[in-house]
A and B are shown apart, each in its own frame.
Chain A
């Protein structure tokens, strides 16, 4: 879709009595920063960075995944940015192009794989953490059926769905997870229709992997079923009755540390995938509907995942009955993009 409005806001930092001028950081977002979702989580991280380091922050919202992104970032560098954060998957190659021509500027990108001395990649290890949400769903669903609204069925999303489902099955071995793919990350009308369709099919818990959880959560709330959020944990404000829990990103510590590395001259581009243990991912506060015994079970599951537990340890059957992982086989964090199967009990097709 056409992204018309690009607003670049220069936020002045508090003046500090120091010799060195503060670091200037440039951040680009794919959407609007306050979407109760992916971009909001990034924005919260940037705010934490700004508070902790007093950096100047240049921000641009609605930056498309096109050459436009490169122009926006180049303008930020021209304004003195020494650290660029490209926060959407499709910004990668454009940021990388600039990293090649600007070796003195540090770049970090969310969710990709490319690396250089001045170009790092970061993301949360969401897949294993989704297992924890599944445990909550397994306990809370009376029907034993959850609905999952998925944007685009790429490997990482399928991994999230599988982990959620395996978590639910660890509590209720007959658990069903129905998946509806909308075909886009931000088609609100289809997300609403998908959530309704899943509830029509008997799901009494709805969750999602799309850019903003706001629509799905509100549909669930209106129809009186439970919801589990993803991306930004602030979305719980939208469902005072039905919110169970959720998984949110907590980018602040990583972003702050990266900014400090740039200031100290110790920055080196690397691949960063951190999870619950490092608190790059956080399990959202529970909703009022969740009783204490379920809270304890979910907290225990979160502690296990933080200790290195992975649900992707064979034997695991896929939903056609074939073995996806044989006994002894295991998928590592670096394999999470490789899913092309749904676990047994997931109703849906990957392709």
Chain B
């Protein structure tokens, strides 16, 4: 039971972790992106399309990453170059992603997908997620690039004065973030569901955004958060299968109850941890 629950939590949490890592990178650079869900869907659709056409799931995953980065550049142009409102631009990206993914995925509804090969129910994307977390944590805190990126997110004016290229750093952060969100979608499509369905990410992009706050913008915190949220989703189904005498309707509320329960815990200290210039369009130095 415990082992099964852990495996199921990892399976459910992996996509959340990819998406949350992406959102952390973006938010550390001062960009809040509410379009994660849309980018995840584009990733899922491209993974299915290229996976089904080539017969190789890894080509699908690569295509997803590329597409995620590309579609995020539209968002980057709006918020970085045009100083558009990030919340509005993010929601537009969400809707764009919904439409684009439906268009890409439509011919592949019902197509037989090559699933990601797995060993002991771990596929390559599950295996890669922790090394990737370490790489991102190292990149953000141990490199000059990471320092500059975080500086842009805290105080773009000071970063500018110190000679950081804000525009380039934010573009990089958004592209990387899009890539990671798309990998989350690719994992859902080719690692979990083995099929394409419209809107198949089912709101997990929004849980990933909540998870970033829970994780206080720290990649390792996101690992814990993804296990907790993934565990909530997995346990409601595992407990039902186990025959626990609880209403299925109550069980289905579990992940959302948990989200509501943990967000107040992150409240005050969480706000302190947030990048200071998060969500604020930068209009240059007067």
State whether these chains interact: yes
Main secondary structure of the interface of B (DSSP, over half): helix
Residues of B within 8 A of A62 (CB): 102, 198
Chain A residue nearest in CB terms to B238: A197
Q: When each residue 201-220 of chain B gets 1 if its CB lies under 8 Å from chain A and 0 otherwise, what string results?
A: 11010000000000000000
Size category of the binding interface on chain B? 35 or more
Say yes or no for A215: interface residue by CB 8 A criterion: yes
Pair A200/B240 contact, Cβ less than 8 Å: no
Residues of B within 8 A of A201 (CB): 241-243
Residues of B within 8 A of A189 (CB): 12, 15, 188, 192-193, 200-202, 204, 233
Residues of A within 8 A of B241 (CB): 147, 178, 180, 194, 197-198, 200-201, 203
Residues of B within 8 A of A196 (CB): 4, 7-8, 11, 121
Say yes or no for B66: interface residue by CB 8 A criterion: no
Q: How far apart sit A242 and B200, CA to CA, in the bound complex (Å)?
A: 25
Say yes or no for A174: interface residue by CB 8 A criterion: no
Q: Report which residue of A7, A31, A189, A214 has the largest number of chain B beta carbons within 10 angstroms of its beta carbon.
A: A189
Size category of the binding interface on chain A? 35 or more
Say yes or no for A183: interface residue by CB 8 A criterion: yes
Say yes or no for B245: interface residue by CB 8 A criterion: yes
Say yes or no for B267: interface residue by CB 8 A criterion: no
Pair B110/A35 contact, Cβ less than 8 Å: yes
Of A120-128, A300-308, A343-351, which stretch is located at the interface?
A: A343-351
Answer whether A32 and B109 are a contact pair too, CB < 8 Å, given A181-B248, A189-B192: yes
Q: Closest Cβ of chain A: how far from B264's Cβ, in Å?
A: 25
Say yes or no for B195: interface residue by CB 8 A criterion: yes
Residues of A within 8 A of B248 (CB): 153, 180-181, 183, 348-349, 351
Q: What's the A-B contact tally at a CB cutoff of 8 Å? A: 146
Residues of A within 8 A of B198 (CB): 1, 3, 5, 31-32, 62
Which one of B8, B99, B195 lies within 8 Å of A212 (CB-CB)? Answer: B195
Which one of A2, A4, A34, A188 lies within 8 Å of B200 (CB-CB)? Answer: A188
Q: When each residue 1-40 of chain B gets 1 if its CB lies under 8 Å from chain A and 0 otherwise, what string results?
A: 1001001100110010000000000000000000000000
Q: Closest Cβ of chain B: how far from A112's Cβ, in Å?
A: 24
Say yes or no for A56: interface residue by CB 8 A criterion: no
Residues of B within 8 A of A188 (CB): 188, 192-193, 195, 197, 200, 202
Which one of B106, B112, B115, B204 lies within 8 Å of A222 (CB-CB)? Answer: B115
Say yes or no for A237: interface residue by CB 8 A criterion: yes
Residues of A within 8 A of B201 (CB): 189
Q: Closest Cβ of chain A: how far from B222's Cβ, in Å?
A: 19
Pair B95/A4 contact, Cβ less than 8 Å: yes
Q: How far apart sit A200 and B11, CA to CA, in the bound complex (Å)?
A: 14
Residues of B within 8 A of A36 (CB): 110
Say yes or no for B194: interface residue by CB 8 A criterion: yes
Pair A182/B199 contact, Cβ less than 8 Å: no
Residues of B within 8 A of A182 (CB): 237, 252
B interface residues (Cβ-Cβ under 8 A, vs A): 1, 4, 7-8, 11-12, 15, 95, 98-99, 102-103, 106, 109-110, 112, 115, 121, 188, 192-195, 197-202, 204, 233-234, 237-238, 240-243, 245-249, 251-252
A interface residues (Cβ-Cβ under 8 A, vs B): 1-5, 7, 31-36, 40, 62, 147, 153, 178-184, 186-194, 196-198, 200-201, 203, 212, 214-215, 218-219, 222, 237-238, 347-349, 351
- 21 chain-A/chain-B pairs, Cβ below 8 angstroms: A1-B202, A5-B106, A36-B110, A62-B198, A147-B241, A179-B240, A188-B192, A188-B200, A189-B204, A191-B193, A192-B194, A193-B12, A193-B234, A193-B238, A197-B234, A197-B240, A214-B110, A218-B194, A218-B195, A349-B246, A349-B247
